[in-house]
């Protein structure tokens, strides 16, 4: 029994545990951790991945949850040595919607070209912040529990325990072709038994 980070996608939505696998930003609203549907480098302006919706999900029924937060390990550097040929985050930003909500909104865009920009096209998001440059262990973003309650639990069955967070990768004209250095995103919470 665990608490994990789940990705939600499609019209349903479909939920998948990404805690140990990771999240890949792509030009399709589907969970596929592979090199298909990459975000192309734009000749001008920006291209976007389809926004990714994530939340905490738990099948630990006995706990009482509170205070979920999200943060990152900062903008990662290219490792030395670099056997996977990762490229730097130059010209790239990972944004998080300033609003975390209980309402799921399926990502939209043009497959294999660009996702629609988060703020202009998401029904609940009115602003965004650069997740990697802003939210670290010293400055975590509050997410909130399902329903906006102060504490949640014990659970009757496995369920989403946090509000949805919406992430979007933006690629600019100064970006390098290739796979970005993997960034680390954390979600934490408090529990009482």
Q: Name the residue among 78, 23, 15, 73 with its Cα closest to residue 52.
A: 23
Q: Name the residue among 11, 22, 27, 34 with its Cα closest to residue 169.
A: 27
Q: Quick check: 193 pLDDT over 80?
A: no
How many structural domains comprise the chain? 1
Q: What is the pLDDT of residue 1?
A: 62
Q: Is 82 exposed, middle or buried (0-12, 13-18, 19+ CB in 10 A)?
A: exposed
Q: What is the pLDDT of residue 180?
A: 95
The tokens for 186 are 């954390």
pLDDT in tens, 37-82: 999 999 999 999 999 999 999 999 999 999 999 999 999 999 999 9
Q: Name the residue among 181, 161, 189 with its Cα closest to residue 73.
A: 181
**Residue 134 carries which DSSP code?**
H
Q: Quick check: 31 pLDDT over 90?
A: no
- Phi/psi of residue 121, each to 5°? -125, -10
Average pLDDT across the chain, whole number: 96
> Is the Cβ–Cβ distance between 125 and 107 less than 8 Å?
no
Q: What is the pLDDT of residue 32?
A: 83
Q: What is the pLDDT of residue 56?
A: 98
Place of tokens 């130059």: 90
Q: What's the chain's length in residues? A: 193
Helices within the chain (DSSP H only)? 118-121, 131-134
- The range of the structural domain enclosing residue 75 comes to 3-192
Place of tokens 């998001």: 125
């Amino acid at each position: 029994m665990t608490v994990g980070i789940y990705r939600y996608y499609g019209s349903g939505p479909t939920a998948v545990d990404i805690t140990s696998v990771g999240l890949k930003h792509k030009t399709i609203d589907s969970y596929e951790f592979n090199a298909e549907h990459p975000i192309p480098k734009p000749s001008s302006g920006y291209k976007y991945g389809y926004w990714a919706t994530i939340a905490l999900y738990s099948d630990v029924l006995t706990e009482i949850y509170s205070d979920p937060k999200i943060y990152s390990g900062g903008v990662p550097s290219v490792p030395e040595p670099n056997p996977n040929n990762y490229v730097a985050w130059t010209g790239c930003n990972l944004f998080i919607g300033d609003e975390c909500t209980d309402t799921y909104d399926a990502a939209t865009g043009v497959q294999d070209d660009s996702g629609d920009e988060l703020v202009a096209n998401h029904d609940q998001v009115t602003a965004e912040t650069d997740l990697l440059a802003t939210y670290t262990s010293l400055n975590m973003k509050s997410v909130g529990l399902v329903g906006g309650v102060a504490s949640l639990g014990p659970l009757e069955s496995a369920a989403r325990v946090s509000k949805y967070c919406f992430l979007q990768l933006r690629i600019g004209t100064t970006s390098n072709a290739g796979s970005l250095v993997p960034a680390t995103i954390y979600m934490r919470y408090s529990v009482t038994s």
